[in-house]
Chains A and B, each alone.
With several copies, the nearest count.
Chain A
Amino acid sequence: MDKGYIIKLLENLKDIMMTNKDYLIQLDSVVGDGDLGLTMSDGFLAAYNAVKDTDDNDIGKILYAAGKAMSTAVPSTMGTLMASGFMNAGKVLKGTTEVTLTDIANLFDAYLEGVAARGKAKLGDKTFLDGLAPAVASLKASAKNQDTLEHAASDAAYAAEEGFMHTNQLLAVHGRAATRGEESRKLLDPGAAVAMLMMKAFHKSVR
């Protein structure tokens, strides 16, 4: 798969954030300031628009450019974290023009790393990481097992969803949610919902 696939992936990511704008707003309104639906739809749109007509074949550069566009468009907490994910994935995949399942596992792993390096949250801190990390682990296992791409994506989406659903067991320690202390525990984390949506879009992109 070449850059055409990556751009399709970005398009699917944009579409799912647009479709779920109100859902994200609703989740973030309970825990935070309610802007997540707006920032994610605006941000992934900006990312997609920045590269959809690119002449570049370098998948790394494309991802980096998408991330930069996103960081400019939506400098909110999640906006900057998602941008950091794309930019780190871009650095890791720099020079690549074709990707396999292993590369895609590496892509999301680098994305996760980028977010983690920027946000300095730990697993279990009730953040985006708790949605994406299980999916990345699943992808890596699938790559090792030489699963089909579609099967790997389906498993990853399922893992992300489980990760998200599990966030209502966790205590928030970052951002606005953290100011609620113990009360935050029973709520679902909006950022982790974004991870779940990302993996759903990834699944769709390989079907």
Chain B
Amino acid sequence: MKKIINKPENYVKEMLEGLYIAHPDLITYTADDLHCLVTANKREGKVGLATGGGSGHLPLFLGYVGKGMLDGCSVGDVFQSPSAEQMLAVTKAIDSGAGVLYIYGNYNGDIFNFDMAAEMADFEENIQVLSVVAGDDVASAGPSAPGEKSTRRGVAGIFFVFKCAGAAADKMLPLEEVKRIAEKAAANVRTMGVALTPCTVPRVGKPGFSIGEDEMEIGMGIHGEAGIRHGKIEPADQITDEMLDKIITDLPYTAGNEVDVLVNGLGATPLDEQYIVTRRISMYLAEKNIKVHRFYVGEYATAIEMAGISISVLKLDAELKALMEAPACTPFFRQ
């Protein structure tokens, strides 16, 4: 395990201490608990937006707390959900009477805890809480039947949901409206990833799985969940096309659509490669007559030090487009 860390059991605590030191203008914490991160710039009367999840995905989740995006984030141990109590503490801190919307990824532990936190907020604190669960990874399961709960994992595409909902809340829209927008963004985003190397949870000390020296795993999840196929590494253009084929046909995205695209590095993959993929996406979508409104390129949701890339596509309408264009200022995302 090649990591610049101290004791593995202090990994998350020390990372959080560093974060608060570096971004005092944007974030702070509540309930005397470093894991209960909240904005340093609370706006009265605004719907509070909270997320949460395991560590190991920086800048996800906490990096999107700030102006124009989220108001709070409860932070778990690496790849582990934070507790309902921590979520409740964040909820209490960010509510200013307009209610709170939870937006988080589709993982069992997170769902159970956010549900419990929502009940506690209602029963114990009389705070109205609604929830939107994002599941954008087309590789993780087939599309769900109408009315059925999605079984897809939430991955990098949640960034778009944060951005749209954050801008909506910033416009002082009411809770139900912000939820509608978050759901609309979530319903219109699809993601797929490819991994080249595994990642190591610091407390475990060795990779949780392995990928052959000249192999890749298409569709692998951000905790190393199995993908849809593994095989020899192929040229970037070919990998990109395979991922886009899956993404495009799933929603589907069709000629005449306008989209935002997120090209996301999973941790160890240089920006150069992300731009090589960006180039191909642009060619591919142009051929399908799908117009790219804007590319976002960089590390937005990682899997510790996994090498790999994911592509997320958000289908825009006038409403989502305007929300995507709104300004935002968080530790990791500025626009």
Contact = CB atoms under 8 A, between A and B. Distances in A.
Contacts of B86: 72, 75
Nearest to A84: B116
Given A83-B116, A84-B116, A179-B226, A71 B85 contact: yes
A71 B83 contact: yes
A19 to B, nearest CB: 23
Contacts of B278: none
Contacts of B112: 77, 80-81, 84, 118-119
Interface stretch (B74-82, B289-297, B311-319): B74-82
Interface string B35-70: 000000000000000000000000000000000000
Nearest to A68: B85
A174 interface: yes
Contact of B109 (A72, A73, A77, A179): A77
Interface string A45-70: 00000000000000000000000100
A76 interface: yes
Contact of A72 (B76, B80, B83, B115): B83
Contacts of B82: 75
B335 interface: no
Nearest to B74: A75
Contacts, number: 51
A176 B226 CA distance: 10
B76 A75 contact: yes
A87 B79 CA distance: 25
A175 B112 CA distance: 12
Query: Is chain A's binding surface mostly helix, strand, loop or mixed?
Result: helix
A111 to B, nearest CB: 15
B85 A72 contact: yes
A71 B112 CA distance: 10
Contacts of B85: 68, 71-72
Contacts of B225: 176, 179
Contacts of A73: 83
B126 to A, nearest CB: 17
Contacts of B81: 75-76, 80
A76 B115 contact: no
Contacts of A33: 79, 208
B249 interface: no
B108 interface: yes
B283 to A, nearest CB: 29
B84 interface: yes
A150 to B, nearest CB: 34
Nearest to B226: A179
Contacts of B116: 71, 80, 83-84, 87, 118
A194 to B, nearest CB: 15
A76 B109 contact: yes
Contacts of A71: 83-85, 113, 116
B84 A80 contact: yes
B265 to A, nearest CB: 24
Given A68-B85, A179-B225, A179-B226, A75 B115 contact: no
A157 to B, nearest CB: 27
Interface in B110-138: 112-113, 115-116
| A68, A75, A174 pick with most chain B CB within 10 angstroms | A75
Contacts of B83: 71-73, 75, 80
B303 to A, nearest CB: 14
A80 B109 contact: yes
Contacts of A68: 85
A119 B115 CA distance: 10
Contact of A75 (B79, B109, B226): B109
A132 B168 CA distance: 45
Nearest to A175: B108
A73 B83 CA distance: 8
| A72, A77, A179 pick with most chain B CB within 10 angstroms | A77
Nearest to A173: B151
Contacts of A75: 76, 80-84, 86, 109, 113
B108 A174 contact: yes
23 contacts: A33-B208, A71-B85, A72-B86, A73-B83, A75-B76, A75-B81, A75-B82, A75-B84, A76-B109, A77-B108, A77-B112, A80-B83, A80-B84, A80-B109, A80-B112, A80-B113, A81-B112, A83-B116, A84-B116, A87-B116, A118-B112, A119-B108, A179-B226
Q: Please provide the 7 A-B residue pairs with the shortest distance between their CB atoms, ordered closest to farther.
A: A75-B83, A80-B112, A72-B85, A75-B81, A77-B108, A77-B109, A72-B83
